[in-house]
Structure 1
Amino acid sequence: MLQKGLNGFQIKLLALIFMTIDHIHFAFQGVYEIPLAFNIIGRMAAPIFVFMVTEGMRHTRNREKYMLRLWIGSLIMNFGNSIISDHFPLKNGGIISNNIFSTLLTICLLIYGFEKIVISLKAKQYYKVLGFSLLTLLPFISYALIMAITKTGFESQFMMYLLRFIMTVFPNIIFTEGGYFVVLLGLGFYLFGQSRTKLGVFYLIASVVYFFLSVDYSSVSAILASDVQWLMILALPFLLLYNREKGRSMKYFFYLYYPLHIYVLVILSYYLGR
């Protein structure tokens, strides 16, 4: 019997391909003329991964371990980004700031925290309400601390190290890949993702809102020169084809592939651009 739709493994594999194409554009722009189409194709990757992580939170047997893996991935990426950026600078002057692990962790923390707060309130366990509230607010607290330290002007080396420590170890709502918009997208996926109709309507509205908030739509050329993230709408057919089946696991393959392929592309770009 033929399988209908796409299972979880297949949809993540598609997102991986889209992501790789996008990162080719990121790494080699300035070395070669990489078509804008590479960047446009890449706009589909992050929303698919975000959608799948909300499905993971919905179905995993151990949310704490799930979030721990994302946190470890985030730490590795932050250290790796710093090392690779220092030794293999991009010719276009950019730095490696990619860390979708941190974004996914932020989404999961908010989902986990909100639900635990509701459960604790119903059970009248107010000490747990306080604890889970602090956990839920962690991405906002870390952002506030970053801003407070930044305003000091780094007058001491200790403050500079403290800033780097917070940005490396803790997720935050703003200085994370995709920013607050992708975090809100993840929360919407969790709320509406079980209904194809609700998912489609929500995703369409999110894409349209992003378009009007971030794009200069005064002319076709201005649109093409603007932020193309709104073209994430192209991922909608793949999201709607998701058949709720897990498929092959290979979870560590995706965890490993993400940082490794970025670093390999950046190193290749460095040597080819010399």
Structure 2
Amino acid sequence: MINAMDQKLKNVQCFTGNQLKLIACLCMLIDHVSKIPMSKYMDKLFSLSLEGMISEEQFFALQDFQRQVLFGIGTIAFPLFCFLLAEGFRYTRNRKRYIGSMLVFAIISEIPFDIGFFHAYSMEAGAFPFYFAYQNVFFTLFLGLVCLTGLEAVSKRNRNSDRKEKAKGFLLQIGIIAIVSCAAELLKCDYGAQGIIFIAGFYIFRKSHVLQVVMFLVLYMATTGNQPPTYTMIAAFLLLLYNGKRGKWKAKYLFYWFYPIHIFVLYVIAQLFL
């Protein structure tokens, strides 16, 4: 039944990996616009509402739009990035370079991330040059790749093993996911253990888009305790439309650089104009 559903999906799958990356980047940009310059603007509007220069209804209507719509659109990005990371791990020709690049850009992105999202960026506040209480999402993706490396190693070792050894291998894989998830939590990485679990789930069920999406939604409910909201369902729908192709143009490092650069630009805009 699952195979039949996957086959039917092929008739409507229209998004390449590059196109999904663009959608994810756009959603992330909207999210960060709302959290960096717009948040500073909202602080000013709040002061104006206290002074009676704008009504409380106007302020709270804009605040609801920021939190319910803009933040919601932003949540579409992370599942897409997790999915594409698992796909990239499968098809990359150089695993070491892929993992190394993720770590390098995690380090490069940390200062722009700290400056953009943590206003008390100073030596006195313990946030300079790095704010160790929270790490950017590239560290989560890096740990996700470390997790996938471990899962693959166990899978290869147990490929021709008997049932007992395969059961041990399965438990070992669960242990790897748990250890890396704990590391993500201890390091205070963005999305933490949830991100590692999503990445592992997309990789484990890589042979079926339907199973990937079903497991993503199940894992979302398991890790949050909530029903998937509208924007999470949109992310799941986009994943179903992935056609398994990377796309014609190569712009891997463009996507890497986009993260730290756009955060820094938004921070500068917030400081200069708001």
Same fold at TM > 0.5: yes
* Amino acid across the alignment from 1:245: K
**Structure 1 residues not aligned, in runs of 5+:** 90-94, 124-132, 144-170, 216-227
Q: Which of the residues 124, 137, 151 maps onto 1:100? A: 137
Distance change (3 Å), C-alpha of 1:234 and 1:207: farther
User: TM-score when scaled to structure 1?
Assistant: 0.68
Tell me how far 1:5 sits from its aligned partner.
1.0
1:179-228, Cα deviation, whole Å (9 max, x unpaired)? 101110110000113312211211221233345x268xxxxxxxxxxxx9
Please give the per-residue CA displacement for 1:23-62, whole angstroms capped at 9, x wherever unaligned. 1111121413452200000110011011000000011111
Match of 2:41 in 1: 31
- Give yes or no for contact 1:140–1:173 (8 Å, CA) kept in 2: no
Measure how far apart 1:233 and its partner are. Answer: 2.7
Match of 1:196 in 2: 209
The answer as to whether partners of 1:88 and 1:267 remain within 8 angstroms in 2 is: no
What do the CA deviations read for 1:68-88 (whole angstroms, capped 9, x no partner)?
000000111123334566888
| Letter paired with 2:24 | A
Query: How far did 1:138 drift?
Result: 11
State the match for 2:242 in structure 1: 242
CA deviation string 1:87-134 (max 9, x = no partner): 886xxxxx98562211111111011023224545789xxxxxxxxx9x
Structure 1 residue 230: Cα displacement: 8.2
1:258 aligns with 2:259: yes
CA contact (8 A) 1:203 1:233 kept: no
1:48 aligns with 2:74: no
* C-alpha distance in 2 between matches for 1:249 and 1:116: 28
Number of residue-to-residue matches in the alignment: 217
- Alignment RMSD: 3.4
Deviates more, 1:189-198 or 1:18-27: 189-198
Instruction: Report the secondary structure of 2:184's partner residue.
Output: coil
The 1:84/1:252 distance shift into structure 2, 3 A limit, reads same
Alignment partner, residue 167 of structure 2: none
Q: In the alignment, what sits opposite 1:110?
A: 147
**Contact 1:88 1:270 (8 Å CA) reproduced:** no
SS in 2 for 1:244: coil
Gaps of 5+ in 2: 1-10, 43-61, 122-126, 161-171
Give the Cα–Cα distance (whole angstroms) in 2 for the partners of residues 98 and 234 of structure 1.
27
Amino-acid identity (%): 27
Q: Distance in 2 between matches of 1:268 and 1:232?
A: 29
Change beyond 3 A, Cα 1:238–1:87: closer
- Tell me what 2:165 maps to: none
Call closer, same or farther: CA 1:22–1:229 in 2, change over 3 Å: farther
Residues 270 and 201 of structure 1: is their aligned pair in 2 closer, same or farther, counting only changes over 3 Å?
A: same
Equivalent position SS for 1:176: coil
Equivalent residue, structure 2, for 1:221: none
- Output aligned runs, 1:124-273, within 5 Å: 140=179, 172-174=184-186, 175-211=188-224, 213=225, 231-247=231-247, 248-273=249-274
Deviation for aligned residue 1:231: 4.2
Asked if the contact 1:138/1:172 (under 8 Å) is kept, the reply is: no
Shift in CA distance, 62/229, structure 1 to aligned 2, threshold 3 Å: farther
Alpha-carbon shift at residue 3 of structure 1 (Å)? 9.1
TM-score (normalizing by structure 2): 0.68
Residues in 2 aligned to 1:141 and 1:112: alpha-carbon distance in whole angstroms: 11
Give the whole-Å Cα distance in 2 for the aligned partners of 1:14 and 1:102.
21
CA distance in 2, matches of 1:233, 1:85: 27
Instruction: Kindly provide the amino acid, as one letter, of the partner of residue 210 in structure 2.
Output: T
Larger mean CA deviation between 202-211 and 231-240 belongs to 202-211
- Report the CA distance shift for 1:105/1:204 in structure 2 as closer, same or farther (over 3 A): same
